[in-house]
Amino acid sequence: MSDSIVHIGLILPDVLGTYGDSGNATVLAQRLRWRGTRSEIVPVHLGEPVPDSLSLYVLGGGEDDAQVLAAQQLRDQPGFRRAVARGAPVFGVCAGLQVLGTWFRTSAGTLQEGLGLLDATTAPARRRAVGEVVVRLDPAFGGETLTGFENHRGHTTVGEGSVPLGKVRRGTGNGDRTEGACTGRVLATYLHGPVLARNPALADLLLGWALGRELPPLPVPEVTALRRERLGRRG
């Protein structure tokens, strides 16, 4: 693959595509296009090997059966682990967060091994978390306010090997007033939206990791206005 093109791996969209999170890959590609950088979205479907040469990798959400299938598929993907080992960014959403963690327990009580790329474990919560979420990001991730929509029943505990993305101001997130998890360049969140469309600074953080440099701001007045309106309503 040409080094002049940023290759965005869309991992298992046929399995982890329940909540429209494939749109995160589209957002990344568009923000590169606006900056004059060529990109290509590379879907990797169930049963296909994950290339180790992609620039970054995106995983979406799904229900229990799909999540278990995704974990089983990705545990046997040496190319994916080689990519993580060389520092390729990985971004997971909802089920993607749980799959990237150490282990997760399904709503039926079955314990499933995750990929161990995040020090995070997940068990079913008493109640399903559904609704808007507002998070104050840790300064390490830009410090801005993160918004999104959650629909999950996971209670995630982040261990010492990872750090949460920030503190929940509204909504549930991990279930302990924190949201998401990150180890190195493996970053995950419970937020849908698609979350990168609603939070362009987070998209640029991932792109900066992939390109090896911090990206300057990319003013898009329409996005700024929508974020201001949304935050004004949600607080």
Q: What is the DSSP string of 186-217?
A: EEEES-BS-HHHH-HHHHHHHHHHHHTSPPPP
Do 119 and 137 meet the contact criterion of CB atoms below 8 Å apart? no
pLDDT tens, 32-91? 999 999 999 999 999 999 999 999 999 999 999 999 999 999 998 999 999 999 999 999
- Topology annotation, domain 6-234: Rossmann fold (3.40.50)
For residues 149-168, average pLDDT: 97
Q: The tokens 């987070």 sit on which residue?
A: 202
Nearest alpha-carbon partner for 100 in 17, 190, 177, 28: 190
Query: What one-character DSSP code corresponds to residue 50?
Result: P
Catalytic annotation on 192? yes
Catalytic annotation on 94? yes
Residues 213, 149: Cα–Cα separation, whole Å: 29
Residues 61, 168: Cα–Cα separation, whole Å: 20
Q: Six-digit token pair at 72?
A: 């089983």
Q: Six-digit token pair at 41?
A: 């979205």
Residues 177, 195: Cα–Cα separation, whole Å: 19
Nearest alpha-carbon partner for 173 in 143, 142, 132: 132
Q: pLDDT-derived band of residue 10, with 50, 70 and 90 as boundaries?
A: very high
Write down the pTM of the prediction: 0.94
Question: Considering 94, 152, 155, 182, which one is annotated as catalytic?
Answer: 94
Cross-strand partners of 139: none
pLDDT tens, 137-153? 999 998 789 999 999 99
Residues 6+ apart with CB under 8 A from 9: 42, 44, 50, 51, 54, 55, 56, 57, 58
pLDDT tens, 177-198? 999 999 999 999 999 999 999 9
pLDDT tens, 124-133? 999 999 999 9
Question: Considering 7, 152, 155, 192, which one is annotated as catalytic?
Answer: 192
